[in-house]
Structure 1
């Protein structure tokens, strides 16, 4: 089990995506209300169990006297919900062979309230709040991951190997965040920090090279997302990504006219879109020109993946030429050049 993948699956973003697919009428997502409810409940529960400070919003706020009653009511509702979950045959999940995870959530909720009553609710308590992320095993997982890395990922190191690895971590470097372990670090907590050596992440390719991409042409029907034609949902996703592109471009552009040309002049023009569905005040509604450029880039990328064996499609020059022909007249030259430079970084020269 990979916790870092489970937390991404049981997230508000997945619930929003399912809800949006249901609202636009995609047949495969009709009747997914129960799944949306389950994901939102466990997303909020994971937020409570991973609180890190007093300045967070919503459920991510650390447990304190101001929100303890709300948290207790939430825990009671979640416990009732978990105890009434059933399989298709009517068997309660809590009574099945797969009940460990659900029972674990109930135990964690009760334990957290007991910790609050012991550490904060007392009259002479010195604590004002509890950051639940400090209680998680992520820090121990990261420590074990670093030990395994120093031992050459040996699953059964000897005492001498462990002592040598521990000394290297203690004297020479602090932990390096690894994306291959069971969890992801949510904040910078120095462990065994005896020197000032900082970890740096390596470079990664955004798009695989043609030699890395393998396509099974006999099963193209199972992967309809690779065809250049964009579905309604794909168009909304591209529009959402275009808002992120505009956010990055605004940091590089200094011309106010150019910046305004990347933004939608009437923000409420399309009230039913993925951007408006997920917007809580911080998302950007891109202009039609930027959306067109990003849509064209998406189509060319899909064609690039489909026809990766072709000599012309496999060249970045072909990719950029097609973008220029299809979208070059929609934006000012300076903005278009910035977009081209951004796309050029997707391909190694």
Structure 2
């Protein structure tokens, strides 16, 4: 089991997803407030225990100390209610899990306070409180020992002396610990070779061709001050995702866009909480996500529909772009940069969806191959 992946089950993203689908009446998610609260508490606990950067370090009176103290108090109250019979015993953690959590949180609190107050530490990185070094060391010993996973004392000393002199073995690739330091990187990778022999400016050529095709097709009839003052019907999940991706594409464009008209034509500055397609952005944002303009959303929504139609074809990029240009009408307020902005949006969105589609298809193929290997062992 990989702990890094297992802990994602109780992450803030899962809590936001539960609230998002519960608001849309998904079966089995009608009453998820308790699960959401439980997930967020454990998410805050894991965040407090995984500080690895000096700017996030724990200091006197920091929020993480309060989070740990609050979690410890909640765990004790939860156990008391289970012991008194107010809640079922099955609704509480096992004795080993509860005791392990209590020891972890309490020891982390006491050690942090000791280092900050008695030892004069400016900050404490709690991610360093682990036994990864020991796990890596014994993992190397087991690795070099071959099939002998339980070496005797003479064998262990022999392996240790050999590794001390040669240091030929690397730490295990998978496990409950992480590698430290920078990993060795090849001077020349296969990707570098492919890029070296690739036609120069292939991506730029595609983008220039798309700009030429858009020349004259984009109108400048959109008013940037449009405000949507009524509630639309609840949209599907895919529309919310396209809206989220549209905001991501607009953020990338804003980095290199100086024209004020273009910047105003990309993102919404007014209140947009009434737009149902922005529900996912409102659910995920911590203050930095952007809301795209309505015409940008509709433009990429059409691109998503055409991409979904041609996703299994060989020339998916060309077919998607041609379909969008033939069947859709688009508009942008800036007459000087409208072709460039819309071409960059369309090109970037289709390229991003192609990468996502290939990654998802590769994951499906890996899962299928893994299942076939399991079946082959049974026969």
TM-score normalised over the length of structure 2: 0.61
Counterpart of 1:120?
A: 116
Counterpart of 2:48?
A: 48
Q: What root-mean-square deviation, in Å, do the aligned CA atoms of Structure 1 and Structure 2 show?
A: 4.3
Query: Which structure features the higher share of helix residues?
Result: 2
Q: How big is each residue's C-alpha offset from its partner over 1:208-256, in whole Å with a ceiling of 9 and x where there is no partner?
A: xxxxxxxxxxxxxxxxxxxxxx952222222112111111122243433
Whole-Å separation in 2 of the counterparts to 1:275 and 1:289: 17
Deviation at 1:100, TM superposition (A): 4.1
Alignment of 1:1-349 (within 5 A): 1-53=1-53, 55-56=55-56, 62-67=58-63, 70-71=66-67, 73-80=69-76, 83=79, 90-92=88-90, 96=94, 100-122=96-118, 125-137=119-131, 163=162, 167=166, 182=176, 190=181, 232-268=236-272, 270=274, 273-304=279-310, 308=312, 315-327=316-328, 329-331=330-332, 332-342=338-348, 343-344=350-351, 346=354
Structure 1 residue runs of 4+, over 6 Å off? 139-145, 157-162, 199-203
Highest Rg: 1 or 2? 2
Higher relative contact order (CA 8 A, sep 6+): 2
Contact 1:65 1:129 in 2 (8 A): no
- The number of residue pairs the alignment matches comes to 294
Contact 1:15 1:36 in 2 (8 A): yes
Whole-Å separation in 2 of the counterparts to 1:169 and 1:249: 47
TM-score normalised over the length of structure 1: 0.66
Change (3 A) 1:245 1:183: farther
Contact 2:44 2:67 in 1 (8 A): no
Deviation at 1:338, TM superposition (A): 0.9
SS in 1 for 2:290: coil
Change (3 A) 1:295 1:165: farther
Whole-Å separation in 1 of the counterparts to 2:251 and 2:147: 44
| Higher mean C-alpha deviation, range 230-239 or range 9-18 | 230-239
Counterpart of 1:227?
A: none
